């Protein structure tokens, strides 16, 4: 029992260190040409990193609800940012070669496949659930306790998750101030349309 708990803690520690590694791997595989001033490309990179983080977070919890909600919140915020950026920036064509896009899509699909295989393996072996379902007469009790804890409103404000929630709140608040400052400079629409 003690050895099994030690192994479970070791695996969860490994996956906590895996989140930054996946993000760094994703950012390193993106060619330098894509880091341009084009807001469409920047938004695509942000969506990709958000998807990687939400997939990595789903490895750490027994349900996918938290990572799905975080993904929807970040994508909603990114779409609003994208609207603001496109109203400021001029129309630009995307001059990325076809071979670069194909190699980027292949790399992204390989990393996604690797993450999905890891998720499939650990969802069947139950390493991350911490031996809560060992005895058959405690299954119902443990499931109800775990579900009540996960769906309670203080879950996102409790110890392991509160830093991510606080970071998202600060990020959105900072973005609100920046966009407000940009819009207050002129009382006209930000983009001129030609007739």
pTM greater than 0.85: no
Short-list 46, 89, 78, CA closest to 175: 78
Q: What is the pLDDT of residues 93-118, one digit of tens each?
A: 666 677 777 777 777 777 777 766 66
Residue ranges covered by each domain of the chain: 2-137
pLDDT value at residue 22: 64
DSSP 8-state code for residue 161: T
Q: What is the pLDDT of residues 134-170, one digit of tens each?
A: 444 444 445 455 555 555 556 666 677 777 777 888 8
CA distance 123 to 58: 10
pLDDT value at residue 48: 74
pLDDT value at residue 133: 43
pLDDT value at residue 75: 80
**For the chain, how far is it from start to end, CA to CA, in angstroms?**
74
**Which string of DSSP letters, residue by residue, matches 125-159?**
HTTTTTTTT-SGGGHHHHHHHHHHHHHSTTGGGST
Most confident region among 2-6, 21-25, 79-83, 116-120 by mean pLDDT:
79-83
Is pLDDT above 80 for 23? Answer: no
pLDDT averaged over every residue in the chain:
65
pLDDT value at residue 78: 75
Q: With bands split at pLDDT 50, 70 and 90, how would you rate the model's confidence at 190?
A: low
């Amino acid at each position: 029992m003690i050895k099994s708990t030690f192994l479970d803690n070791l695996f969860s520690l490994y996956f906590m260190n895996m989140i930054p590694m996946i993000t760094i791997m994703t950012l390193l595989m993106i060619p330098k040409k894509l880091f341009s001033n084009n807001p469409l490309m920047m938004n695509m990179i942000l969506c990709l990193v958000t998807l990687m983080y939400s997939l990595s977070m789903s490895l750490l919890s027994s349900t996918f609800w938290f990572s799905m909600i975080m993904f929807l919140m970040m994508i909603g915020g990114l779409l609003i940012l994208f609207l603001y950026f496109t109203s400021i920036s001029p129309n630009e064509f995307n001059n990325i070669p076809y071979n670069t896009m194909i190699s980027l899509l292949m790399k992204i699909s390989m990393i996604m496949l690797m993450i999905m295989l890891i998720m499939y393996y650990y969802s069947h072996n139950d390493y991350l659930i911490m031996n809560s379902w060992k005895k058959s007469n405690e299954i119902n009790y443990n499931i109800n306790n775990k579900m009540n804890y996960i769906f309670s409103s203080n879950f996102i404000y409790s110890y392991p998750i509160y830093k991510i929630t606080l970071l998202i709140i600060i990020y959105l608040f900072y973005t609100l101030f920046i966009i407000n400052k940009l819009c207050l400079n002129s009382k006209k629409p930000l983009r001129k349309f030609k007739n």
